[in-house]
Amino acid sequence: MIYTISEAAETLGLTAPTLRYYDKEGLLPFVDRSAKGIRMFKKDDFEWLRLIGCLKATGMPIKDIKKFIDWFTEGDSTLMQRREMFHERRRAVEEQIEDLKKTLEMVEYKCWFYDTAVAAGSTDAPKNIKSEDLPEEIRELKRKLEL
């Protein structure tokens, strides 16, 4: 089955301008075109587009995604470079996860803080709770966050 750019975009949760941008940047060398130059997406192309989306979600710049696609096109002589690129991406994602965990801890603390403040009608209430009277998980969050 052949998909138009609009159908491909909708299927993948993207926009047609995003796909056009990817094409302009050289990220879609695998997408066929009709005699009139219209992009013709196949189901197999969606796997590539999902990979591009995954790499973007890791924070990889478009130029590096293009480099990966170029390496893939070159074949097995670039296996080591592609492998190293994905190992680096894994390290970057692991760092992002750690950063997000810290962010979540702050948000969890603030949820407790404002739940407590709303219940008491004042932000003084959570501020005035002695450390030893805090719920254990909140005491631990405060310790981690150095509040």
**Contact between 1 and 36 (Cβ < 8 Å):** no
**What's residue 31's pLDDT?**
94
Report, as an integer, the average pLDDT of 25-32. Answer: 94
Task: Check whether 147 has a pLDDT greater than 90.
Answer: no
According to DSSP, residue 13 is labeled T
44, two tokens: 């197999």
CATH of domain 1-74: 1.10.1660.10
How far is 76 from 43, CA to CA, in rounded Å?
24
* 105-117: pLDDT as tens digits: 999 999 999 999 9
How far is 33 from 19, CA to CA, in rounded Å?
14
Domain residue ranges of the chain, discontinuous segments joined by +:
1-74, 90-147
Report, as an integer, the average pLDDT of 126-133. Answer: 93
> Helices marked H in 25-78 — which ranges?
43-57, 62-74
99, two tokens: 């950063």
* 5-19: pLDDT as tens digits: 999 999 999 999 999
Report, as an integer, the average pLDDT of 38-62. Answer: 95
